[in-house]
Every structure is written in structure tokens, then in C-alpha cells.
Amino acid sequence: MTKGKKFDFCIEQTNDTWTAQIVRRKTARETIVSKSQDGFATEAAAIEWAQTELVSFLENLKKRNQRRSN
């Protein structure tokens, strides 16, 4: 069994705009979108947003899990 990332981001193009999504791996075959933002003019802007939001999303998740474990 391989171990991969549970959270990652996905970039998609629709017509002339880009959409960035933070996705969570539910099972080996299924993913769930945790957060999404659309309307980016360039792919680079979408990737930049996704990377910064993924870091903040994981930090908030880490803090929440610490509060629940105490």
C-alpha cells in the first residue's frame, strides 16, 4: 500500500478563466473539494492562490486537531 498526500490542489481551465481547488483524498478512488476559487486570469495566479491557501488550510486544520486532542 502506498502512502500519498491527503491534501493537494488542482487547477482547471474553463474557457478563458482558471479555477483552483484544494482537494482531499477520501478513498483511493474518490476526492472531495474542500475549498475552491474561480475567475483567475492566468494559470500562475491560480497556482499561487492554491499554494498559499493550502498552507493556511493545513495550519488551521493542525490547530483544530490540537484543540480537539486536549
Asked whether the beta carbons of 14 and 27 are under 8 A apart, the reply is no
Burial annotation 19-36 (CB, 10 A radius, 16+ → b, else e):
bbbbbbeeeeeeeeeebe
Q: Which residue ranges make up each domain of the chain? A: 7-69
pTM over 0.75? The answer is: yes
Alpha-carbon span 21 to 18, nearest angstrom: 10
At 12-64, the pLDDT tens digits run 999 999 999 999 999 989 999 999 999 999 999 999 999 999 999 999 989 98
Helix, strand, or coil (residue 3)? coil
Res 9 pLDDT > 70:
yes
Q: List 32's β-bridge partners, or say none.
A: 24
